[in-house]
């Protein structure tokens, strides 16, 4: 089984699976006869199906309950939070959501807003630039045959396996020599280059950009840059969205690199800021627990909305990603 053929298999299977369930399908058929309409487990007994549901329910509770706790706790003030031990913690007490929100947004002259804007900026710019760089590189590797091309691709794939955490410290040494530490660039530049994005772009380009189209455009006299921006990028919009999304989520979640590189709190990300707030209890005895909880919830919401809105794209990215 070779990697590329499995890639194709999987994405098509995935597509068919999604298309096989159109919303217009009649819903209330009691005993469907046609076997091909039925899911995989249609041969199962009733108890079997119950068992499946029970198992799914168990995992569902495990996955969702902690987030439920976070949501409920964000509506409580700190006194209430500590005064509701045990299972009471899973249900609402005095409803202080708005007060908590005000507290988070105004604490320390609204530094939380600053962190949010920073995070949006780092993730947005980083993901955008890395997507453009990755599309260009993926297109170059996929559609041109130049000397060193397969070595280049080998490097890209090998980079997946290089532990990112270990690179952070050497990078810090280099950046401190270059005077970039504690500047915006120290966080932005590393996010511009993402080997996995290049690999995804190459795979998408292999499967979606026809060589004939490129040749035809060249015959018509289109320059290579115009060809790339006006034709290739347009054909690869959906692939580009996946690459952008995965890069954005990665940047939003990054912690180690900003922790090393950034000193001044005005440049921090949400993750760094929450870490610092959580640490204040130990450092100076100021207990900001309910601020951290509210802040955690706030920093998750934009990401969750973004991911749900773009679910279509990142699912296909995962399908491809699983086969690298």
Partner 1 sequence: MTSTGAAPDADVGDARRPRHWTSALKWKGAAFTAPFFAGFVLLFIIPLGYAVWQAFFREQTSGLGLSGTTTEFVWFDNFAKAFEDATFWAAITRVLVFAFIVVPVMLAISLAMALLLDMAKRRAVRFFRLGFLVPYMVPGIVAALMWIYIYSPRSGPLTPVFADLGLGVNFFASEMLWVSIGNLIIWNTIGFNMLIIYAALLSVPRELFDAARVDGASEWRIAWSIKIPHVRAPLALVGMLSIIGLVQIFNEPLLFRQISPETVTKDFTPILFIYNQAFDANNYHYAAAVSVLLALVIGIVSFVYYKLANRPTT
Residues within window 269-288 making contact with partner 1, judged by CB under 8 A: 270-271, 274-275, 278-279, 281-282
Binding segment toward partner 1, per CB under 8 A, in 101-109, 180-188, 234-242, 268-276: 268-276
Q: What angle do CA 246, 298, 237 make, to 5 degrees?
A: 25
CB proximity list for 177: less than 8 A, separation 6 or greater:
none
Both tokens of 57, joined, read 């329910």
Binding segment toward partner 1, per CB under 8 A, in 93-101, 107-115, 149-157, 180-188: 149-157
CA 132, chain centre distance (Å):
17
Residue 234 beta carbon to partner 1: minimum distance, rounded to whole angstroms: 16
For position 77 contacting partner 1 by CB under 8 A, the verdict is: no
Per DSSP, 90 falls in state G
Helices (H), 265-323: 270-283, 289-309, 311-321
Q: Which residue has tokens 């115009």?
A: 226
For position 241 contacting partner 1 by CB under 8 A, the verdict is: no
70 or 128: CB nearest partner 1: 70
For position 53 contacting partner 1 by CB under 8 A, the verdict is: yes
Among 101, 105, 120, 152, binds partner 1 (CB under 8 A): 152
Among 139, 204, 244, 248, binds partner 1 (CB under 8 A): 139
Q: Which residue has tokens 């997946």?
A: 160
Among 81, 127, 180, 240, binds partner 1 (CB under 8 A): 81
Q: Which residue has tokens 């320059």?
A: 223
For position 309 contacting partner 1 by CB under 8 A, the verdict is: no
Residue 60 beta carbon to partner 1: minimum distance, rounded to whole angstroms: 4
Q: Which residue has tokens 């995992």?
A: 59
Compute the distance between CA of residue 296 and CA of residue 100 in angstroms, rounded to an integer.
12
Residue 98 beta carbon to partner 1: minimum distance, rounded to whole angstroms: 21
Both tokens of 87, joined, read 């299972």
Q: Which of residues 56-75 bind partner 1 (CB under 8 A)?
A: 56, 59-60, 62-64, 66-67, 69-70, 73
Compute the distance between CA of residue 131 and CA of residue 117 in angstroms, rounded to an integer.
21
Sign of CA dihedral 207, 209, 214, 215: positive
Q: Which of residues 153-192 bind partner 1 (CB under 8 A)?
A: 153-155, 157-167, 169-174, 177, 189-190, 192
- Please, what's the b/e burial string for 205-240 (b: 16 or more CB within 10 A of its CB; e: otherwise)? beeebeeeebeebeeeeeeeeebbeebbbeebeebb
For position 34 contacting partner 1 by CB under 8 A, the verdict is: no
Among 22, 26, 43, 221, binds partner 1 (CB under 8 A): 43
Tell me the number of residues near partner 1 by CB under 8 A: 123
């Amino acid at each position: 089984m070779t990697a590329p053929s499995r890639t194709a298999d999987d994405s098509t299977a995935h597509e068919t699976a999604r298309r096989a369930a159109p919303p217009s399908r009649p819903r209330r058929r009691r005993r469907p006869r046609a076997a091909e309409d039925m899911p995989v487990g249609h041969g199962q007994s009733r108890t079997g199906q119950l068992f499946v549901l029970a198992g799914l329910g168990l995992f569902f509770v495990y996955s969702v309950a902690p987030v439920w706790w976070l949501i409920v706790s964000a509506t409580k003030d700190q006194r209430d939070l500590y005064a509701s031990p045990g299972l009471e913690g899973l249900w609402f007490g005095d409803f202080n959501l708005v007060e908590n929100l005000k507290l988070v947004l105004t604490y320390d002259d609204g530094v939380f807003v600053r962190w949010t804007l920073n995070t949006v900026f780092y993730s947005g710019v980083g993901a955008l630039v890395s997507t453009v760089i990755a599309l260009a590189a993926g297109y170059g590797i996929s559609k041109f045959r130049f000397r060193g091309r397969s070595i280049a691709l080998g490097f890209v794939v090998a980079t997946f396996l290089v532990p990112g955490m270990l690179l952070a410290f050497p990078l810090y040494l280099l950046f401190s020599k270059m005077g970039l530490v504690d500047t915006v660039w120290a966080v932005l530049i590393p996010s511009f280059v993402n080997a996995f994005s290049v690999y995804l772009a190459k795979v998408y380009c292999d499967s979606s950009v026809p060589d004939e189209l490129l040749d035809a455009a060249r015959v018509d006299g289109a320059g290579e840059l115009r060809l790339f921006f006006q034709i290739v990028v347009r054909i690869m919009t959906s692939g580009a969205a996946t690459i952008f999304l995965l890069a954005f989520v990665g940047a939003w979640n990054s912690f180690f690199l900003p922790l090393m590189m950034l000193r001044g709190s005005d440049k921090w990300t949400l993750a760094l800021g929450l870490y610092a707030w959580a640490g204040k209890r130990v450092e100076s005895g100021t207990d900001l627990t309910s601020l951290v909880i509210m802040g955690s919830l706030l920093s998750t919401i934009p990401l969750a909305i973004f991911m749900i809105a773009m679910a279509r794209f990142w699912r296909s990215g995962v399908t491809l990603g699983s086969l690298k």
